[in-house]
Structure 1
């Protein structure tokens, strides 16, 4: 085996290694990971019923059939680096992996065992190959590992990784390509089975923008909102006024960045608000390059959206850009994420105040004021929303939160002067019901439309228009959980 590469050699350029690997070694040292051995934590495999595991395992089983006689171990891990499954036809390789606990149920994150293929792939959210003595722990140097992160194609959330491990003496030229292919096939299978939902994409043209002092960026001003929303804005204002770093936590589209922007505009009325979202992997270097000149300007506040989507090394560079050497922030700084525990450690340690932002389904009193505001913005003037349409909007669960409400109302307002149930999509008319087939969704929507219309004052009239008996209509109303009052 070649001589052991040391951290000193890596830091001083004496070993030809990628910058990402050097950063990982430095983090491993800071975590206090021992170099002589690995002692991963056994947590068990709790995610074997997940959608990701179902699709990923199917892909790896098929790959295993073609590589059954090769000295390669194929694994799935969750987003925390816990090994969920392992396949290999090489018994000596399996025994060696058991010796270092690279086995189902054990956590192999970078924080647990130092630099390794799957740990670094998850930390940086990038395809990774770690060869032989590039591993931080000595007893992993007999292996070469290739790992590729897997993102949920509909939400963009990190689900886990595909990891292929072989002996360090074996050729690794195709290992990363195979791991890429398996991860890609897993995401494609997840998308194909995800009932036609579209994958989350980074919004082009809105990844990085500067808002000059004016009304809240991207939102306008809506003051007639629920007490929970206004309390969140007030809490963020107080924290910002005290110089605290704030994290708004909640579902995508719930208004996390809008809440922070409103609070920042009230707290720093003269400041520019620099608002950035996590970039696509190909845009990372350009994205980081935009920060330096902007952060040097006076009266600037910063909001970074979706920091849970940032690779670890990007989060570390961002931290270094916004923090002074004395440990204070160079500018007012706030972030958003879906869950606090998914914020990279480099940024999570800076957060002083965490503000939960409730999803729109838990803020029904906000639906109509927001809908009126969105319609006014789309048409440039007030737009009437009929009582039946208002009830349908309030009764819907809005899984896409305010973003979905904005799309629905903007589309309707662009076509008519009065938003009525006829202009709303079937899924909104289907209310908060779950697990309906397309036919059931359409049927429920038709019942809601007819019951909400002014032309069906009685149940008999509604049943006649729908082509069913009154008894059947009453049964359908109960079955679909319809609670809309009729217009008398």
Structure 2
């Protein structure tokens, strides 16, 4: 049934009044539309110019796309006699696909860039059937003048959220668009029904991954008399032998290590020391369902020496070093021989993947093999290199070079080799940022270092995601060993010790510590920028609490979240405003929503989106 012309005129008049004077919309405007207009105005969205942002980093082969495609195909077939367009977006309002039943509606939507790659977030394009769904967390039907932007007035769009049936998080939006004159309540019903079908497909997909993991676990357990553990993204299963062998801390450490490894390797055969002191050998395979990683099934064997004969700390002249505990540095320099600032090493060794990285670096240094150390920015690559080297070479020196400066200085690192009469390690940081000239200069140094009989070691650090087209790839043949350093999010067991160490370095002469509640927040947060971000958070807390016990409220707002992706600056500001309002309202969500000018549903959506669990 076509929309009432009178109703559309009333809403158009209310919109005109709102845009001209900010008058509160009351003339028949639904509450969720009025709330969206207010949010759009607060975000600075213009109604006269529609400029959606384009994104080229979309995952168009994601699990969501795979599960949604057959549902969208059926929906298009069932509505082939109508002039409609069906779009699928991710959870950031970025359009992953669009399918049209009519060339005319497709051309009109092209004119407003409602096409694959473009973003339709409410903060960019105002009220619409995609961004408003994500803001409100519910299905909406936006018709004609209910849109905020002038360019969208000719359309009607019905959108529904697609939620992960396991986690409840919104994975994307299904949107159906038509001309406003052809709008029908049937659109709203169809899009909600289709979204539910996609959610059922997601559930089946989840079940396939979990079933594949569980089936492999059962087969492995039946064939083995050893401890067996299956580790998935949200599922862990182990047999009785594993429960007897591993205490709670060991189980958590092994799960973290397995999740770190299964993102990088198909097969694993690793020997690691557990927090309890035992050493285990873990062998396993990654289980794949299509392009998705279901998890990893591990066979675990205790390979510890008899406890009475096993020294607590292996000697430094043999075996695997414990992660070194720092100590004096004979020389830590940087480019041009200027003295470097004292580094603040993170000497924690409970995490199996960290200990394994330390052991591989030690082995490479003992053999004087050029080392390539990989890991996320701020994960401690440089720190671990220098710590292990100085534990091996008590009188040695470490000299670091920022690779970005190599081509910009007259200093010749190869010339300094003649000065290396004491054991020396040259560390070139971030070589993936080298320009062509820098690669040539570093190549000359590598040739000289490999040819010398002097006690010289060479190491370089790079980010973990490598672009094969970058100039530094020409240097890779010089390196014999690569080591991956785990990010902070895979070192939960070490966070308390890391935090204590960072605080001691930042406030060396003060009595300051972190409360148990604040520590729980730190352990729950994912630290996308690793140690650097932890240092920033603690520096912020020290400004509020220079001495004494740092409490939850002293930590920055982002520590109160468990969001899995990096937030944009606008999202960070929005998140911090929500946390501040909740604090001012003593946790009362109704009062906080009123103070923010949000509907309660919008506040709840933000709590879920940002992972805000406590204030």
TM range, smaller chain: 0.3 to 0.5
TM-score of the superposition, structure 2-length normalised? 0.39
TM-score, structure 1 normalization: 0.47
- Bigger relative contact order (CA 8 A; separation at least 6): 1
